[in-house]
Amino acid sequence: MQLAGAVPLQRGAPAPMSKGVVASSAYVDGRRVADIAVDEAGSWARKPGHVVWIGLLEPDRDLLHRVQAQFGLHDLAIEDAEHAHQRPKLEQYGDALFVVARTAQMIGDRIEFGETHIFVGKGYTVSVRHGASTSYAAVRQHWETCPTSLARGEDFILYAILDFIVDNYMPVLEAMHEEVEAIEDRVLEKPMARADIERLYMLRRDLLRLRNAIGPLVEVCRRLSNGELPQISAGMGPSFRDVTDHVRTVQEKIDSLREVLAFAFEASLLIGQSQENAIAKRLAGWAAILAVPTAIAGIYGMNFKYMPETELWFGYHTVLVVIASICGVLFWRFRKNGWI
C-alpha cells in the first residue's frame, strides 16, 4: 500500500548521487520512499511527516554549501564540518543541532581516528564523515528493517549513528586487549627488548588519545538525554542515556588496559633489575675469589731480597695450598648465600 503524499521509491532508477554523497533518502513513517538528490532535500524535508537522511563522505566545500542552502545551516557549523579538526561537542544553531563525534578504527597496529559531524533539524539528519570510520550503511540498512523505530524521527537517527560509533570502539579495544595480554605473557618470560618497550609506549599513547577522543562524548549524550533540547523528544532520553553508559564502559576498559600496560612495564623493570642484581652478585663473588691469588701473587712478586718462605723448599707448594683453601672457603660461602 502506498503512503499518502509519498513518491514511490524507484529502486531500478535511483536518483544520481553527487561525489561525496553516500546516500540521500526520504522516509515516511520509518519507510524509505525515495532516493533523492541533494538539491531537492529541502523540499522533501518540509513535507509533513517526511524525514530526510543524508550521508556524506569527505564532501568538498561546494557540496556542503549546497546542503547548507537546502536546510539553512549555520555558517560556523558548515565551516567546522569542512575542516574536521574538532573535539566532540554539541552546538545549537537556531532550530538545528550540530553534533561532533570522534571515530576510531584499528588499521594495522595503530589506531586511526576520524570524525563524524551530524546536523539535526526538523525533518532532516545529515551526517558528514571524515577520516577513519566504518560506513553507516549498516546502520541505515538495519533500521530500515525496523520502520517502527525509524519512524520516531530525526532524533532517533542521531541516536542510531552515535550508538554505532560507540559500539565500534569495542573492536578496537578487543584488538588491543589481545596484544596487551601477549605483552603480559612475554614480560613474565624475559625482560622487554627495545622493540617491546617502544610498542608498549605506542599502545599507551594510542589508548590515551582514544580516551581523550571519546571523553567529551559523555557530556554530549548527557545534554541529549536531559530533555533540554527542543530537537530531541523526551522519549529519546533513555536511549541517549544508554549510549552514555556505553561510553563510560569504554572509558573503564581503556583505563584498565592502560593500568595493565603500566604494570607490565613496571614488572619488566623489576625483572630486569633483579637479573642485573643477580649478575652483579655473581661478578662480585668471583671478583672476591680472584682477589685472593692476585693479592698473594702480588706480594711475592715484589723484588725484595729478604722475604719469608722464599728460601724454603716447600714454600711454593704452601702458598698454592693457602690460595686454594681460601678460594674454596669463599666459593662455599658465596654458593651457600646464592651469590654464585
CB 305 within 8 A of CB 224: no
Q: Tell me the domain boundaries of the chain.
A: 1-147, 275-336
pTM of the model: 0.75
CB 127 within 8 A of CB 54: yes
SS (H, E, C) 109-177: CEEEEEEEEEEEECCEEEEEEEECCCCCHHHHHHHHCCHHHHCCCHHHHHHHHHHHHHHCHHHHHHHHH
CATH class for the region spanning 275-336 = mainly alpha
Supply the pLDDT for residue 306.
62
Supply the pLDDT for residue 118.
93
Supply the pLDDT for residue 3.
37
CATH class for the region spanning 1-147 = alpha beta
Supply the pLDDT for residue 263.
77
Supply the pLDDT for residue 67.
92
Sheet containing strand 89-93, strands side by side: 31-35, 21-28, 50-57, 124-131, 110-121, 96-107, 89-93
- The whole-angstrom separation of Cα 283 and Cα 308 is 33
pLDDT by residue for the chain (340 residues), tens only, comes to 333 333 344 443 445 556 788 889 999 998 999 999 999 999 999 999 899 999 999 888 899 999 999 999 999 989 888 887 778 899 998 888 999 999 988 888 888 888 999 999 999 999 999 988 888 888 999 898 888 888 898 999 999 999 999 999 998 888 888 888 887 777 767 666 777 778 888 888 888 888 888 888 888 988 888 878 888 888 888 899 999 999 999 989 888 888 888 877 777 766 666 667 777 777 777 887 788 788 777 776 666 666 666 666 666 677 778 878 888 888 888 777 777 7
